[in-house]
Every structure is written in C-alpha cells, then in structure tokens.
Structure 1
C-alpha cells in the first residue's frame, strides 16, 4: 500500500441550519431530533425584535439551538429555525449513533416535516503527520493564481496565537465572499484551537481543515444529493473537485488547460464532480423580502427607533419620496396577480 493510500481523512458535518414553518417545538423534538424526553432543554426569552432574525425565543440542547416565534400575527409568523454549529454537530452525531440513525435519515426527517435547509457546512480534517498539503502551499497557489475556480474572490488571513508570552501565526485561505452561496476555507485548525485555549499549536499536532460552506439553494440541493449518495466523504470531495482545482501553471496555457497539482489529485482521489447549479431564481417579492431581512432590517429598525425618540419622520420621508422603477413595479404586479389567482383558486375549491 502506498503512503498516500495509508493516509486517513475525517469528513464531518460542521454546520446545519434548517427552518420550519411550524413553531411546534414538541414536534421538532419528537419527530426530528427524537429527543422529546430530554429534560436538559432550556428555554430563554428574547426581547421581541432583538433575537436572531427577529425570533422571540430560543431553546438549547448541548449547543443545538432552536429559535422560534410564539406570536402569530399577519406580520410575524416565522415558525422556527434549527441551528447546529461545529461542536453541536459533533454532539448530535453521537446522538444519531445512539439512536441508530444517520445524518441522511435526519435530513430526510427534516424534509418530511417541511424543513428548508439554508446553510450546510462540510469539512475534511487532515491530521496525518505528513499531510496531503500544507496551508502555506495553498496560500502560495492563491498568490500566484495557480487555481482554476468559478469563485470570484479569494483572500489570505493570518491567525495570531499568544501563550506564555509567545506568539504563533497560523494561516487561512478563503475562496468566495462572505455572502457567497459557496465558500471554501483552508486553515490550520491546530492554530485555531491553540488560540482558543491559550496553548502552543504543536500540542494539537498537524491539523489542517478544508471546509466548504453552502447557503440557500446550494445547501438545499446538497442535502438532496447527500441523501442520494449516502457518502459524506465522496460527496464533499466531489464538490471540491467542481469548485476549485489547483494547477501547475504553464505560461502558454489557460488555467483550465493546465495540469492539476499532484497534491490536489492525491487529496481528492478518484472522484467525479457534482454541480450544485440551479436555475437562477427570478426576481420576486419573496426574494426581495429575504434580501431586505438579511441586509437592511437592522438599519430600518435603527431609523424607526430614532424617529420614535426624536419625533421625526425620516422613515416616512424615505418611503414617500421613493418611487418604484420599472423592474420593481413588475415584481409588484406579478406578486399581486399571483395573490389574486390564489384567492380565486381557494374560492373555487370551496365551491366543489
């Protein structure tokens, strides 16, 4: 067996966010997490408007978090959001094992209950004494632009770890922007852990992590593909194969025609590519609303509260002096037309 074949890699879920239209927490605990008898659940009140994305309450269970809304009004009916960060994913993996379930069956249970996946992070850990590659190699490839990728942005980030009057510097390379639906991150996990706990990085040994973060439609499609493939490692490598390729630059050749760097071929192995491309979502009221909530809600609330305190009307002035352009008038017409058609359909159903 060759040295490369003897090397082991750990592939893991590193972040999961799924939303549900229901705020029936008992249903989520019983049918999805299957921990309905867990007394460790703690509920925490959140002031209205100040919780994450406006949710009123949250419950936590070993780091697994459920944000939900109790109030049901025409304007506020958000349902619930289940979030597992990295450590919570590790905990839940143990729970799934004890329940004789898998991540794939958990994903299926979420979908059966109307779940909508909005974020999924997958990670590969290389803790071999001789890793497939060092993060410094990725950093050099990035600076030399020896990569072939559809991701438009990349950056290198330094990590500073101080302990006992000593300093260590870790490396991170990120492809994709902060708001991109696909983002790939290469970093020295040992330095991150060392910084967190105030220890030297060598105590953690070699620990390189490759993460791929998927959001919105990419996350939703990835879950569907994971259920179909039933193989975390092969699926994650296939995604990496599609979204980035490190190359050995040949001056006379375009990046797409350059040979793949041997370390990247060895790391990925013999995998096919998986494309998570979906048809581009058309401009819609729902899409605009989602963008507004994610990007503008805090500023909107700030202006509103200052107007309330000062007795001013900046917000009204902005609204009264903003006219919809042709594109936004079309979005309004389409939404109202669909709403009207839905009402007619419901009236027809009531006559049957």
Structure 2
C-alpha cells in the first residue's frame, strides 16, 4: 500500500465541484463541495475506488479479518440512510483452460439477436495490440443504464499491458456487471447482509436479468426460447436474484424544499413581478394558471396527511376535488 496521501484542488466529479481531493494510491475522496443552487449547503463527499483501489482496500480489510461486507456494514452504522452507491462494478473471471464462452461467441449472439434482456443496445470494440491478436469486448446496455454488461478477453489485455505471452497468462475471460444508482445501492446492501456470498449473488443477478437463447422458429415470443447451453453451464444451478428497489416517498416538507431550492418559487415570483408591473404581454397570469392546476395523486396524498396531522380534516374534500384522476408524477 502507498503511504502518502496526496491532496489536490479542486476536483469535479459527477457535475459537482469539490474543493479538496484526497488520494491514497488508487483510492480517491473528494470533499468540501462548493455550495450551488442544487446543493445549497455544500454537503457530501465522493469516494472512488479503481480496480487497484479495490485491491488495496481488500488487502487492508483482509489484514484485519474483514471483508467488503463488513465495510458496507460500517457505512450503514456510521451514516444510516445518508449515503448511497452511485456505481458498482462486479467482475466474474473465467480462468478455465477451455472457457465457458468467449467474447466472440457473445458478439455473434448479439448480432443474431439471440438474447433476452431489459436492454437491446449493444456494441463492440476490438483493440489490436502489437501482435495479430485482437482483444475483443462486447457491451450490452449504455454506460448510463441501471445495469449493463461487458464481456472481454482479459488475457489479451494483460498480455499487451505487461508484455507477457498468452501461454504464460493462460486463458482468462471476464464478465463484468455494471450497476448504477438504485440498483448499485440495493446490491451493495444485499452484499452487506451476505458478505460471503458475492459469487452466488452475482450469478443470481445475471440469471434474473440476462439470457442467451437458442432460436425457435415455431415460437414468436423470444422470452420462451430455451437458454443456450454455454449460458446454462456458466450460471450453474443458481436462483435468479431480483433486486428490491424501495420506492422513495418524499415528505411535504421535502417537496417545499424542492420548490425553493429548485427555483420553482423564484419562477412564480417572476410571473408575479411581471403581472404587478403590467408586463405579462401574451403570458398568462399566475391566477389563471392556478385555476387550471390540479394536484397529482402523490401530492394530494401528502397534503391530506399534512391536514390530518394538524387537525384540519375539513379541508380534505377541497384537496380531493382538485386532484387529477389517474396516475400522476411524484411531486
């Protein structure tokens, strides 16, 4: 492990400007966020670990007989719900002499549309090194998808990077699952509960979200096609894992804060200003807009709950009268 901690100024991560960045090897922490309209108090920090950074953390944890599961558990103890994972990459390495499948096989399956997934966007990247061999990578899902996949020739990548022969490295095919936002956090919390079962969780996630299939001309519904042999062998006898993503229901107070911090109230104030100075032109007055406005069902529910808490139930029928029918957006 490197012993020095480097500090740099400033650092911009995920569209947020941080004033300080601490670096320990391949582990980075950005903090002291600059207050902005979206983040008025300038709170929060951002932790990034590259592949090597994860190796460093693993070695630190392992020296104390701890796992990443214990680390995630500490996050829950320290921060409760005040933290979340924005991205989590899970790698599955196939080091068998005869691999279960190759990226070239995956590419053919994609090109023939012989797969079932929530995403149908795929592309390929062939990196040619000093030898005649190609390191092939097949991608499924966009970079910003909640879940996406990469299949590539790790052996050829390592061969070129460290000037080693393929015979010296041996067969090495890698499958990577990239999770973002809610799915990343849900998987991390599941792993926190079951720290010794990462392999089972990863394969279960694959079984639930991706299948390579054998075409059946007599069946038009692709989801009913049989799973191809190499994918069955690769997954083994594993139960599909469905991630539970809890629905977030913000409070009426949070809605009020969103109106203020998000600039909505400022916009309304601007319309009032134009109306007060007879400068609306062809624009509608705030009163006209309010007359036509209807509460969304989620907002109606929050207003009703608020009125019940403060003992003003007599106003609830007015809320119900002005509520849209059907589903509305969360406000």
Q: TM-score when scaled to structure 1?
A: 0.65
- Check the 8 A contact 1:93/1:103 in 2, yes or no: yes
Provide the residue aligned with 1:231 in structure 2.
197
- Higher-Rg structure is 2
SS of structure 2 residue aligned to 1:91: helix
Offset, 1:153: 1.5
Offset, 1:156: 2.0
- By relative contact order (CA 8 Å, sep 6+), the higher-ranking structure is 1
1:220 to 158, 164, 185: 185
2:144 to 141, 159, 179: 179
SS of structure 2 residue aligned to 1:220: helix
Offset, 1:218: 0.3
CA gap 1:51/1:243 in 2 versus in 1, 3 angstroms = closer
Q: In the alignment, does 2:53 pair up with 1:88? A: yes
CA RMSD in angstroms comes to: 3.6
SS of structure 2 residue aligned to 1:111: helix
2:20 to 33, 53, 57: 57
Aligned length: 263
1:176-215 Cα shifts (integer Å, max 9, x gaps): 1111010111111122233444555554321110010111
Q: Equivalents in 1 of 2:133, 2:3: separation in Å?
A: 42
- Check the 8 A contact 1:190/1:202 in 2, yes or no: no
Q: In the alignment, does 2:224 pair up with 1:257? A: yes
SS of structure 1 residue aligned to 2:178: strand
Offset, 1:283: 10
Q: Equivalents in 2 of 1:249, 1:226: separation in Å?
A: 35
Mapping for residues 1-352 of structure 1, pairs under 5 Å:
40-46=4-10, 50=12, 53-69=16-32, 75-114=40-79, 115-161=83-129, 163=130, 166-197=131-162, 201-229=166-194, 230-253=196-219, 254-276=221-243, 278=245
1:22-55 Cα shifts (integer Å, max 9, x gaps): xxxxxxxxxxxxx9xx9522222227xx566311
1:91-114 Cα shifts (integer Å, max 9, x gaps): 211111001111111011112222
CA gap 1:274/1:193 in 2 versus in 1, 3 angstroms = same
- Check the 8 A contact 2:3/2:24 in 1, yes or no: no
Q: Equivalents in 1 of 2:153, 2:249: separation in Å?
A: 39
CA gap 1:76/1:329 in 2 versus in 1, 3 angstroms = farther
CA gap 1:277/1:158 in 2 versus in 1, 3 angstroms = farther
Q: Equivalents in 2 of 1:216, 1:94: separation in Å?
A: 26
- Check the 8 A contact 1:55/1:78 in 2, yes or no: no
Q: Equivalents in 2 of 1:180, 1:94: separation in Å?
A: 31
Q: Equivalents in 2 of 1:194, 1:283: separation in Å?
A: 51
Q: Equivalents in 1 of 2:128, 2:157: separation in Å?
A: 9
Offset, 1:143: 0.9
- Check the 8 A contact 2:138/2:152 in 1, yes or no: yes
Which residues of structure 2 form unaligned runs of 5+? 259-282, 311-331
Offset, 1:116: 1.5
